[in-house]
Amino acid sequence: MTQTSPRQAGSEQARAHFTVPPKHPMVSVLGSGDALLRVIEDAFPATDIHVRGNEITATGDPAEVALVQRLFDEMMLVLRTGQPMTEDAVERSIAMLRGGNSGEAPAEESPAEVLTQNILSSRGRTIRPKTLNQKRYVDAIDTHTVVFGIGPAGTGKTYLAMAKAVQALQSKQVTRIILTRPAVEAGERLGFLPGTLYEKIDPYLRPLYDALHDMLDPDSIPRLMAAGTIEVAPLAYMRGRAQPVFSKVLTPDGFRPIGDLAVGDLVVGSNGEPTPVLGVYPQGEKDIYRVTAQDGSWTLCCGEHLWTVRTASDRRRSRPWRVLETQEMIGNLRAAHARRYELPLLSAPVAYPERDVPIAPYALGLLLGDGCLTGSTTPSFSTTDPELATALEAALPGVQLRHKGGADYVINRVRQSGDVVTLENPVTGMLREMDLLGTRSCSKFVPDDYLHNSAEVRLAVLQGLLDSDGGPVTRQERTCRVQFTTTSILLRDDVISLVQSLGGVAYTRRREAAGRTPGHAGGRDVNYRRDTHLVDIRLPEGIEPFRLARKRDAYREAGGGGSPRRHIDSIEPAGREETVCIQVAAADSLYVTEGHLLTHNTLNDAFIILDEAQNTNPEQMKMFLTRLGFDSKIVVTGDVTQVDLPGGTKSGLRQVQEILGDVEGVHFSELSSTDVVRHKLVGRIVDAYDRYDHRAEEARRSEPAEHPGEHPPAGPARGGGSGSGKGQRKQP
């Protein structure tokens, strides 16, 4: 226990008295061979420190004695935790106490709080901050989403960030760690280095691998990297989650090649609403895979492309969706006989802008289903449901349906007084305007103005098609699916597009005409001349597929369409293609690609570290920071005095301080030579270079101009400028 004797009134000296508890050997306080005591005596030369047994007395200047008293108190607090004191720990404790008392760097944290804050224990060693600034840096990582650790080499910026990343992974705060570093030292000469791509870039990533081996079981690292739980890659390759330039992306005007998109263009997000493109990043030629869903929809992407998925277990346990790379799922697509990975669907219908159309959408659906549009005769309609004939007539102004008998109706123009016989049937004119006049059952299609219209228009067209050529398929104790049949491949694909754009799923199969039992009509057999395409449909809850009463009632009685789902069925190599990566502003980072599949490029549930960030340019820094996903954390480390970028290129780390200095959730931690935890000489070297640079800068400023009114050209900025030598400094 530590005790302090009172100072005599009027005395210029003070005395402090300490008693070390018997359970703590004096060697733990004084060090082996009194090494710790000598450090304290050297730091307080004007204070007399005497040791007798377990009693320690300090006499001297009141302020210095108070510091010595505080020092021994802090040492005892550290020793009580079971952690030994070292010469380095004592020196750092003294530095913290002097800084806090001098007023230059007042600190609320005590040395004991700093030295006993454990981050990670691995393989018999504990990783913890060793200086006050390091503790504040670690605390900032806990409390902020994006943290910049800026300081000279040896201050533990990257090492502590790695420890926090491993801690977050082990505590399941994140599901993956991504470590990246710009490999600018190789520059354009990377291709001339020997070996494979990974052998070429490995030297620039080696410090990250070494830190990993300090913190994790080395045998587990290859397994974690193979599973994608830990990813180590150069910055240029980390963003390479790309699709071929010809892959289609949904926009408010329909599908467009991803390679044609530019920053500011709009694409459709998972909520069906437009979202702007924030970045377009060409990725060069990459190996491509075809990702196919069980409903037959597919798209192309590279092996690093990201997918939001969940398993049946995730769904049962109400776990959040996970993000996996394409290559992570290869060979792991089945759980027993079931498909493992479910894909998200649109949470709301695609919000296309409303367009004017020549004919009511429900009426168009009925005509595409059961209408005769050949143009060789007056348009007609066939149905055994008078309800549909009445609805069609009500939706077509200026016409009336004349019942010829049986299921046949003729669509006649309503004649007005003064009309001439040669006036065109209104329906014929509208069909001609949409290029539908002359189509037959095998060539019908839905015009683009209806396919890319408001959700109400699209649903009305689909309802007309299903009321005429579709129906509910009910099974006992099962929800109801909807089936549509057609002989037109174009109409089949358009129906699938309508269903998917409304947030549903559609599966198609073909029934061949050859070998089918002939139908029977008019007292005679009728052979099938064309294959029939069947589309099985499931729509999300709240979207009614039918207007016809008998079909609507059957659908509702069966409990509706249930819950539409879509799973990944296969992932297969598809060659090499030129690729591009886009970034969108949607909150969940999802955008709609071919087949209305949802995919994205942003990293969720990840701890991401960018090391040597001073060697990023401003565009790279923006790309990296805006890749941040939900429940993720970013730590950026670098030394602005050691920039290896080509001459004239501004460091992204320098610029980001000007841009994000006042942004909430972003924190800048500054470390200095006093925070160097390598050999003590490193700190002295850093200080010497700083003094040299300061003198050189003063000399440059005081140097007279060569000519009146002119100034000599300024030298390169500190640590930047031309040349490729790391740490190159400006000459005086």
pLDDT at position 384 is 92
pLDDT at position 680 is 64
When pLDDT is averaged across residues 285-305 and rounded to a whole number, the result is 92
pLDDT band at 247 (very low <50, low <70, confident <90, very high): very high
When pLDDT is averaged across residues 163-170 and rounded to a whole number, the result is 90
Q: How far apart are CA 24 and CA 439, in angstroms?
A: 97
When pLDDT is averaged across residues 598-624 and rounded to a whole number, the result is 82
Q: For 681, list phi and psi in degrees, rounded to 5.
A: -65, -30
Long-range CB contacts (within 8 A, 24+) of 215-218: 215/120, 215/122, 215/127, 215/162, 215/163, 215/166, 216/122, 216/166, 217/123
What residue spans define the domains of the chain?
2-116, 132-236+605-675, 240-345+567-600, 361-564
To which H or E segment does residue 299 belong?
Answer: strand 298-302
The model carries a pTM of 0.64
pLDDT at position 715 is 42
Hey, which residues does 298 pair with through a beta bridge? 292
Q: How far apart are CA 695 and CA 473, in angstroms?
A: 86
Q: Other CB atoms closer than 10 Å to residue 633's CB: what's the count? A: 22
Cβ 481 vs Cβ 537: under 8 Å: yes
How does pLDDT run across 14-39, given as a tens digit for each residue? 888 888 888 778 888 888 888 888 88
pLDDT at position 20 is 83
pLDDT at position 615 is 87
Q: Judge residue 92's burial from the number of C-beta atoms within 10 Å of its C-beta, 0-12 exposed, 13-18 middle, 19 or more buried.
A: buried
* Side chain identity, residue 562: G
pLDDT surpasses 90 at 410 = yes
Top mean pLDDT of 173-177, 279-283, 399-403 is at: 399-403
pLDDT surpasses 90 at 469 = yes
pLDDT surpasses 60 at 361 = yes
pLDDT at position 452 is 95
When pLDDT is averaged across residues 700-710 and rounded to a whole number, the result is 60
Taking phi over 0 as left and psi of -120 to 50 as alpha, with beta for the rest, 443 belongs to alpha
How does pLDDT run across 364-376, given as a tens digit for each residue? 999 999 999 998 8
Q: Retrieve residue 193's tokens.
A: 């280095």
pLDDT surpasses 90 at 549 = yes
How does pLDDT run across 89-108, given as a tens digit for each residue? 888 888 888 874 444 444 56
Running DSSP on this structure, what letter comes out for residue 704? Answer: P
How does pLDDT run across 343-358, given as a tens digit for each residue? 999 999 999 999 999 9
When pLDDT is averaged across residues 507-521 and rounded to a whole number, the result is 82
Share of the chain above pLDDT 90, in %: 36
Secondary structure of 469-504 in HEC code, one letter for each residue: HEEEECCCCCCCEEEEEECCHHHHHHHHHHHHHCCC
pLDDT surpasses 70 at 484 = yes
pLDDT at position 623 is 73
Which one is predicted more confidently, 645 or 149? Answer: 149
To which H or E segment does residue 538 belong?
Answer: strand 532-538
**123: helix, strand or coil:** coil
pLDDT at position 722 is 35
Cβ 669 vs Cβ 150: under 8 Å: yes
The string of DSSP letters for 571-637 reads EEEEEEEEEEEEEE--TT-EEEEGGGEEEE--B-SEEEEE-SGGGS-HHHHHHHHTTB-TT-EEEEE
Please determine, looking at this structure, whether the domain spanning 361-564 carries the CATH number 3.40.50.20: no
Q: CATH says 2-116 is which class? A: alpha beta
Do the first three CATH levels of 2-116 and 240-345+567-600 match, i.e. the same topology?
no
Hey, which residues does 250 pair with through a beta bridge? 255
Which of 99-108, 289-298, 392-401 comes out lowest in average pLDDT? 99-108
Question: In 3-state terms, the chain is what percent helix, strand and coil (to 5)?
Answer: 35, 25, 40
Q: How far apart are CA 14 and CA 91, in angstroms?
A: 23
pLDDT at position 180 is 85
The string of DSSP letters for 244-296 reads ETT-EEEETTEEEEGGG--TT-EEEBTTSSEEEEEEEEEEEEEEEEEEEETTS
Hey, which residues does 299 pair with through a beta bridge? 291
pLDDT band at 630 (very low <50, low <70, confident <90, very high): low
pLDDT surpasses 60 at 504 = yes
Residues 6+ apart with CB under 8 A from 302: 240, 241, 242, 243, 283, 286, 287, 288, 289, 326, 579
pLDDT at position 146 is 94
How does pLDDT run across 252-267, given as a tens digit for each residue? 999 999 999 998 999 9
Beta strands in 156-273 (DSSP E): 176-181, 230-234, 243-244, 248-251, 254-257, 266-268
Cβ 81 vs Cβ 116: under 8 Å: yes
Share of the chain above pLDDT 70, in %: 86
pLDDT at position 702 is 76
pLDDT surpasses 70 at 204 = no
pLDDT at position 713 is 45
Cβ 455 vs Cβ 351: under 8 Å: yes
Q: What CATH number does the domain located at 240-345+567-600 have?
A: 2.170.16.10
Top mean pLDDT of 31-40, 206-215, 473-482, 549-558 is at: 549-558
pLDDT surpasses 60 at 709 = no
How does pLDDT run across 153-165, given as a tens digit for each residue? 888 898 899 999 9
Which of 192-206, 543-557, 632-646 comes out lowest in average pLDDT? 192-206
pLDDT surpasses 80 at 189 = no
pLDDT band at 482 (very low <50, low <70, confident <90, very high): very high
Q: How far apart are CA 78 and CA 609, in angstroms?
A: 31
pLDDT surpasses 70 at 6 = no
Query: Which CATH topology does 132-236+605-675 take?
Result: Rossmann fold (3.40.50)
Q: Other CB atoms closer than 10 Å to residue 11's CB: what's the count? A: 9
Q: How far apart are CA 26 and CA 487, in angstroms?
A: 94
pLDDT surpasses 70 at 427 = yes
Q: For 452, list phi and psi in degrees, rounded to 5.
A: -115, 55
Q: Retrieve residue 83's tokens.
A: 């952690």
Q: Retrieve residue 507's tokens.
A: 């599966």
pLDDT at position 108 is 66
pLDDT at position 228 is 65
Q: Retrieve residue 63's tokens.
A: 């302020």
| Average pLDDT in the chain | 82
When pLDDT is averaged across residues 498-516 and rounded to a whole number, the result is 90
Which one is predicted more confidently, 604 or 139? Answer: 139
**80: helix, strand or coil:** helix
Which one is predicted more confidently, 79 or 192? Answer: 79
Q: Which of 680, 687, 674 is nearest to 107 (CA)?
A: 674
pLDDT surpasses 90 at 721 = no
pLDDT surpasses 60 at 192 = no
